[in-house]
Structures are given as C-alpha cells and as structure tokens.
C-alpha cells in the first residue's frame, strides 16, 4: 500500500470523567465498512510505545487501527490517585465507551497487550454484539508468583533515574505515577485474588491467544487458562524465542497470525 492511500489522524480531546484521552487512528484507503482494530496498551504503555506496529497492522489487515492512551498515561490527562483494584472493568465500562462513541464504532476487534489483554476481554463483554473478535498478547489471566516477582524487579529498576527517564520520554512528569500504579497494584494483597476465570466463559466471539515462550511476566499457564476457559472458539499460539512483547520481538510473525485468524473467521 502506498503512502497516498494511508492516513494518520490524532485526536486529543476525547472527553471522559476527570479529563480527556489522546488517541491516534491509522486509516488505510482500503478500509471500507470493516471492523476497526482497537489497541489496549500494557501497564506502563501508551500510544507511542506501540511504535510502528499499529501502522504495520493496519497495512497488513487493510483495516483502521485505533490506539489510545488510558487516563494518566502518555498524552491523556494526568492522574494523581492510584487506579482502583477494579481498573480493568472500569476501563471497559467508563473510558472505552467514550472512545467507541468518538469514533462511531458499530463493530470492532479488540487487541490487548499484557493487562491490555484483560481490558480487551472486558471491552468485548461490555459490548458483546459489537466486538467481532479478541486478540490477547502476553496477557495475564490471574496473579502468579512469576509475574509479581518480575514486577517487583522492574519496580526496583525504575528507581534509577536513567531507567525512569526512558519512560519519561513517553509519559513526561507522570512516569513515576505510571510505575507506582503498576507496581503497587500488582504487589498489593488486595490484588492477589484477581482473575479473569469467572469472565472467560462469557466470551462468545473468537479469541486468539498469543504468548511468548520466554515471557518474563507470566508462564504458559496464562494462555492455557485463556484458551481453555473461553466460551467461544479459541486458538492458542506459544511463540518461540519470544518474551513479553511479541509485536516488537516477532512483529511479522504476529502480523501473519492475526491476519490468518481474522481471515479464517470471515470477520467483516
């Protein structure tokens, strides 16, 4: 696809409770009447941290791709309080609906990385007639020691100014809030019982579960749980030589998997 048939739009004022969200949309000229893909970022992510993947995904699928910064992240309005322990459901019920209305989404494909995978599932459950398909990538399904151990180590690493500075390139002065919201939530006793299990059986649309075999933030028990407990058709792929960010480490492989899965399900 040449550059003349491809456009990128930035949207900086999607009104939500306590502020506004920043979003970006990649629009291929061939996207006519097909469900866009909505990207849900990870615990310390934002639109820009997806890097070139949204553009590559849009070109590969011939579909619009929409990514947005959750409240407190990236270029969205800053937050000062830590998110509640119900933040996954709140994202689907309070913030994503504003994105859906802003872009006039009658149908969509939900794609989530890490905790964004749980949010993609929650969004599908909030809009069961509109979500055509879910893709989770390196998603957690519950809390396991491997995850909390890795997050604790990351929290220590981000205490060093140079490491926090790398994150500040994307989040500015709110980088410390981003780290603390992630680390303090996952290491809290109140979060230890969190699980997607009770919700997975309610998933009815097709589900593609991607997970790196060397994912430092979760074992293959996560994709096993997601794929086996889903109420609809599911496919699990364990990606070799890959850790927690498959769309960066194995981009073309992920693009091919997603394109094949969507095509095989004849998603409009």
Residue 178 lies in a domain: no
Residue 54 lies in a domain: yes
Residue 30 lies in a domain: yes
Beginning with the edge strand found earlier in the chain, give each strand of the sheet holding 65-68 in spatial order. 6-16, 19-28, 65-68, 37-40, 108-113, 131-137, 207-212, 234-239
pLDDT tens digits along 133-154: 999 999 999 999 999 999 999 9
* 8 Å CB contact between 109 and 132: yes
Residue 224 lies in a domain: yes
| Cα gap 26→7, rounded to integer Å | 6
* Residuewise pLDDT in 10s, the chain (268 residues): 444 467 888 887 899 999 999 999 999 987 667 999 999 999 999 999 999 999 999 999 999 999 999 999 999 999 999 999 999 999 999 999 999 999 999 999 999 999 999 999 999 999 999 999 999 999 999 999 999 999 999 999 999 999 999 999 999 999 999 999 999 999 999 999 999 998 999 999 999 999 999 999 999 999 999 999 999 999 999 999 999 999 999 999 999 999 999 999 878 8
Residue 17 lies in a domain: yes
Identify the CATH number of the domain in which residue 112 sits.
3.40.50.1820
| Residue 48: domain span | 3-141+196-262
Residue 164 lies in a domain: no
DSSP label at residue 81:
S
Question: What local confidence, expressed as pLDDT, does residue 55 receive?
Answer: 95
Residue 173 lies in a domain: no
Q: What is the helix (H) or strand (E) element at residue 260, kind and residue range?
A: helix 251-264
Strand 65-68 to 19-28 pairing: antiparallel
| Cα gap 184→82, rounded to integer Å | 9
> What b/e sequence results for 65-89 when a residue is b if at least 16 CB atoms lie within 10 Å of its CB, and e otherwise?
bbbbbbbbbbbbbebeeebeeebbb
Long-range contacts of 164-168 (CB under 8 A, 24+ apart): 167/44
Residue 209 lies in a domain: yes
| Cα gap 248→261, rounded to integer Å | 19
pLDDT tens digits along 158-189: 999 999 999 999 999 999 999 999 999 999 99
Question: What local confidence, expressed as pLDDT, does residue 31 receive?
Answer: 66
Q: Hey, CA dihedral for 195, 122, 21, 23, is it positive or negative? A: positive
Number of domain units in the chain: 1
């Amino acid at each position: 696809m040449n550059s003349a048939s491809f456009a990128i739009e930035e949207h900086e004022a999607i009104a939500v409770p306590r502020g506004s969200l920043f979003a970006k949309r990649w629009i291929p000229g061939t996207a006519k009447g097909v469900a866009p893909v909505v990207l849900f970022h990870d615990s310390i992510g934002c639109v820009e941290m997806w890097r070139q993947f949204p553009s590559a995904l849009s070109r590969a699928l011939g579909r619009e791709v929409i990514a947005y910064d959750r409240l407190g992240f990236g270029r969205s309005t800053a937050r000062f309080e830590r998110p509640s322990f119900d933040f996954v459901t709140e994202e689907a019920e309070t913030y994503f609906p504003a994105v859906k209305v802003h872009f006039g989404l009658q149908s969509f494909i939900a794609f989530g990385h890490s905790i964004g995978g749980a949010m993609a599932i929650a969004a599908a459950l909030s809009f069961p007639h509109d979500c055509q398909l879910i893709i989770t990538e390196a998603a957690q399904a519950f809390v396991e020691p491997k995850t909390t151990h890795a997050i604790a180590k990351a929290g220590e690493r981000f205490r060093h100014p140079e490491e926090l500075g790398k994150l500040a390139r994307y989040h500015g002065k709110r980088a410390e809030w981003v780290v603390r919201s992630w680390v303090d939530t996952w290491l809290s006793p109140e979060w230890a019982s969190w699980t997607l299990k009770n919700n997975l059986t309610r998933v009815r649309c097709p589900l593609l579960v991607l997970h790196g075999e060397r994912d430092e933030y979760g074992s293959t028990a996560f994709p096993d749980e997601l794929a086996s407990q889903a109420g609809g058709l599911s496919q699990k792929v364990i990606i070799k030589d890959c850790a927690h960010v498959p769309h960066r480490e194995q981009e073309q492989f992920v693009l091919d998997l997603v394109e094949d899965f969507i095509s095989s399900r004849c998603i409009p």
